[in-house]
């Protein structure tokens, strides 16, 4: 396992020309201020991600609105760095918003923040920054980039595990990491202390609320957003035996593991809650069942991206399956272009479309998109059938 890198290892070796992505929130403002204070030649940039900013959520979102761009500009003025607004709305619409809609239409559950980091902040933005002569892109993410013993750049968890955001950066490859800077990743400070630092620096965003929801969904109503883009089509809600229990207006409105909002009038025989087990966009059917039926023992993931050298042969790691999920021990192996992951103990709440991110200690090995899951109940049924025993339902 890789030990947590110390502060000396994490230091930048020389002043750089840095492009600081300033969302309008407190984290990116403090990150830009720290980069400038460290002696780097910093320029601030706010990404305009909507052709109609009013269509994105307002009210101190810290991301994509007109008020956010103004907050970012004021922060840059206080820090004393040049500031620009770059229009990446078309690229964002194609690579993030349309991808989000298409994934739900296919019955998967995407994470738009990973896609934005991969396609916008560390692809479109980074490519433009390098073309203009910048050495690095700086963001307010809580993560750390260090140089390993072999001279390669590595992505590690933040010093403060409670604020760590390395999961949503697991899509970055070695080239992108070579031009990434995360000044908040080394700090063992609370968010309140970051806000206090912002106040000491005179940054008006010090008390601005954090953003939590999807930035491009104006009212926070994901189902309403998807219905607008995908339309309404009634389908069946069935149990594991195929018996219809109710109806819905679009399978895209559900996600694996969902319990609330099923609107099933028929109670389960055992009186226990039902959960979404499967979503079939082909016949617009949602299958529900008991909680234990969600137990997953293995998965296959596609489109792997490695933060350095790809793994060779089966090896043990820890895996994170959601942005704020816990680490779970796994054995993983790259087979062709697919990542095969087996869990030491069953896990729940895994949906195709989510990302699985592998860690070796604090080091991020890489990530891949979950395509297929293998459930404990299915394996048990197959084993019983092979043994000629009655299948347990």
Q: Is the predicted pLDDT of residue 2 greater than 60, yes or no? A: no
113 is catalytic: no
Label residue 357 by pLDDT band (50, 70, 90): very high
Residues 285-310 have a mean pLDDT of 94
64 is catalytic: no
Q: Which of 64, 113, 215, 307 is catalytic?
A: 215
Label residue 8 by pLDDT band (50, 70, 90): very low
Q: Which of 63, 64, 116, 307 is catalytic?
A: 116
Residue entry with tokens 């021990």? 329
**DSSP symbol at 94:** I
What pLDDT score does 261 carry? 85
Q: Residues 6 or more apart from 128 whose CB is under 8 A from it?
A: 86
Could you give the C-alpha distances from 227 to 222, 254, 335, 347, in angstroms and in order? 9, 12, 37, 30
CA–CA distance, 88 with 376 (Å, rounded to integer): 44
Provide CATH 2.40.30.10 ranges for the chain: 295-382
Label residue 57 by pLDDT band (50, 70, 90): very low
Residue 55 has phi, psi (to 5 degrees) of -80, -15
Residue 337 has phi, psi (to 5 degrees) of -100, 10
What pLDDT score does 269 carry? 80
Q: Is the predicted pLDDT of residue 82 greater than 60, yes or no? A: yes
CA–CA distance, 193 with 288 (Å, rounded to integer): 44
Q: Is the predicted pLDDT of residue 60 greater than 60, yes or no? A: no
What pLDDT score does 294 carry? 95
Label residue 162 by pLDDT band (50, 70, 90): confident
Contact 195, 209 (CB under 8 A): no
Q: Is the predicted pLDDT of residue 129 greater than 90, yes or no? A: yes
pTM > 0.85: yes or no? yes
What pLDDT score does 366 carry? 96
SS3 content of the chain, % helix, strand, coil (to 5): 30, 25, 40
Residue entry with tokens 């907050």? 71
CA–CA distance, 117 with 242 (Å, rounded to integer): 40
Average pLDDT score, the chain: 88
Q: Is the predicted pLDDT of residue 387 greater than 60, yes or no? A: no
Residues 28-48 have a mean pLDDT of 97
**Poorest-pLDDT segment among 22-31, 211-220, 362-371:** 211-220
Tokens of 188: 């063992």
What pLDDT score does 51 carry? 65
Which class does domain 295-382 fall in? mainly beta
**Poorest-pLDDT segment among 146-150, 154-158, 176-180, 317-321:** 146-150
Tokens of 87: 């229009």
What pLDDT score does 235 carry? 93
Q: Is the predicted pLDDT of residue 13 greater than 70, yes or no? A: no
Provide CATH 2.30.30.280 ranges for the chain: 232-293
Dihedral angle sign, alpha carbons of residues 249, 251, 253, 259? positive
**Poorest-pLDDT segment among 65-69, 108-112, 124-128:** 65-69
Label residue 336 by pLDDT band (50, 70, 90): very high
What pLDDT score does 12 carry? 47
Label residue 393 by pLDDT band (50, 70, 90): very low
Label residue 236 by pLDDT band (50, 70, 90): very high
Provide CATH 3.40.50.620 ranges for the chain: 10-207
Query: Distance of alpha carbon 97 from its chain centroid, rounded?
Result: 14
Q: Residues 6 or more apart from 243 whose CB is under 8 A from it?
A: none
pLDDT tens digit string along 238-268?
999 999 999 999 999 899 999 988 888 777 8
**Poorest-pLDDT segment among 123-127, 262-266, 272-276:** 262-266
Q: Is the predicted pLDDT of residue 61 greater than 50, yes or no? A: no
Other CB atoms within 10 A of residue 386 CB: 8
Which class does domain 10-207 fall in? alpha beta
CA–CA distance, 197 with 388 (Å, rounded to integer): 67
Residues 142-164 have a mean pLDDT of 89
Torsion of CA 33, 36, 38, 39, to 10 degrees: -170
What is the CATH topology of the domain spanning 232-293? SH3 type barrels. (2.30.30)
């Amino acid at each position: 396992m890789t030990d947590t890198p110390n502060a000396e290892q994490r230091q930048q070796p020389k002043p750089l020309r840095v492009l600081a992505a300033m969302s309008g929130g407190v984290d990116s403002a403090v990150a830009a201020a720290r980069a400038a204070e460290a002696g780097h030649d910093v320029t601030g940039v706010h990404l305009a991600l909507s052709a109609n900013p009013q269509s994105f959520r307002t009210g101190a979102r810290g991301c994509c609105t007109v008020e956010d761009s103004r907050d970012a500009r004021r922060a840059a003025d206080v820090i004393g760095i040049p500031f620009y607004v770059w229009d990446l709305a078309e690229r964002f619409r194609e690579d993030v918003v349309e991808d989000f809609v298409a994934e739900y239409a296919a019955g998967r559950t995407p994470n738009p923040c990973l896609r934005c980091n991969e396609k916008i902040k560390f692809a479109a933005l980074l490519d433009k920054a390098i073309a203009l002569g910048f050495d690095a892109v700086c963001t307010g993410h809580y993560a750390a980039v260090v140089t390993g013993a072999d001279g390669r750049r590595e992505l590690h968890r933040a010093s403060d595990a409670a604020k760590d955001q390395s999961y949503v950066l697991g899509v970055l490859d070695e080239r992108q990491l070579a031009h990434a800077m995360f000044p908040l990743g080394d700090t063992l400070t609370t968010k309140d202390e970051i806000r206090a630092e912002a106040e000491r620096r005179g940054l008006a965003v010090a008390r601005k609320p954090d953003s939590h929801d999807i930035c491009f969904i104006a009212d926070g109503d994901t189902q309403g957003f998807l219905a607008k883009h995908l339309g309404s089509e009634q389908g069946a809600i069935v149990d594991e035996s195929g018996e219809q229990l109710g109806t819905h207006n679009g399978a895209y409105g559900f996600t694996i593991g969902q319990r609330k909002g099923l609107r099933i009038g028929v109670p389960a025989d055992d009186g226990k809650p039902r959960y979404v087990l499967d979503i079939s966009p082909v016949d617009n059917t949602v299958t529900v069942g008991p909680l234990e039926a969600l137990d997953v023992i293995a998965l296959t993931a596609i489109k792997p991206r490695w933060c350095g050298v790809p793994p060779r042969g089966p090896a043990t790691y820890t895996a994170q399956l959601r942005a704020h999920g816990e680490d779970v021990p796994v054995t993983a192996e790259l087979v062709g272009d697919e990542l095969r992951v087996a869990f030491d103990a069953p896990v729940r709440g895994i949906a195709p479309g989510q990302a699985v991110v592998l860690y070796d200690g604090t080091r991020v090995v890489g990530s891949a998109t979950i395509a297929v899951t293998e459930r404990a109940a299915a394996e048990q049924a197959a084993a019983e059938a092979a043994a000629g025993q009655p299948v347990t339902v």
